[in-house]
Amino acid sequence: MELVLVIIAIILTLAGLAGCVLPAIPGPPLNFIGLLLLQWAWQPFSTITLVALGIITIIVLVLDYMIPVWGAKIFGATRYGIWGSIIGMLAGIFLTPIGMIMGLLLGAIIGDMLAGKKPLEALKSGAGTFLGTMAGMLVKLIVAGIMTFLAFYEIIKYGWTQFSS
């Protein structure tokens, strides 16, 4: 049973990292679930650590939706620009991670131009939407990276103690 939990935790942890850049996968929540599975397997984490990481995961989940919108609003994006960035990002996923980023930027610019903005204004608000989304991804990557490190550190430490004696 322990091995199954560890394997599932590894899969969830890696999927959590991928989810930091792929919008269809919830990154940090998957990492946190992986940590909970490790906790179930052999209790490597303190309650305080798990509660703190759970709270951070919830905060990051909320910020993931708010940061791009804040960036868009600060730089003057319209509703069309925000929707264009979402549609462009989803369309770009099918190409590559670079396609996703370019789709987000182009979608925001095209959306704002459809809303009646001049090209230079649309570029500015598109850049704001882009920067907000990149900031959100960076926050998710930092949190998911920390949880991934903790998971693999505990897996390696546990394996070492199991097989070194």
Q: 149-154, long-range: CB within 8 Å, 24+ apart, which pairs?
A: 150/35, 150/45, 151/9, 151/10, 151/13, 151/31, 151/34, 151/35, 151/38, 152/13, 154/38, 154/44, 154/45
Residue from 24, 17, 47 nearest 142 by CA? 17
Per-residue model confidence (pLDDT) at position 112: 93
Neighbouring residues of 1: CB distance < 8 A, sequence distance ≥ 6: 41
10-residue mean pLDDT profile of the chain (165 residues): values are: 92 95 87 97 95 97 86 88 87 82 90 94 89 90 97 90 67
Residue from 127, 137, 131 nearest 106 by CA? 127
Task: Tell me which residue has tokens 């709270």.
Answer: 55
Per-residue model confidence (pLDDT) at position 96: 76
Per-residue model confidence (pLDDT) at position 164: 64
Per-residue model confidence (pLDDT) at position 140: 95
Per-residue model confidence (pLDDT) at position 56: 98
Per-residue model confidence (pLDDT) at position 17: 94
Contact 82, 129 (CB under 8 A): yes
| 3-state SS track over 71-135 | HHHHCCCCHHHHHHHHHHHHHHHCCCHHHHHHHHHHHHHHHHHHCCCCHHHHHHHHHHHHHHHHH
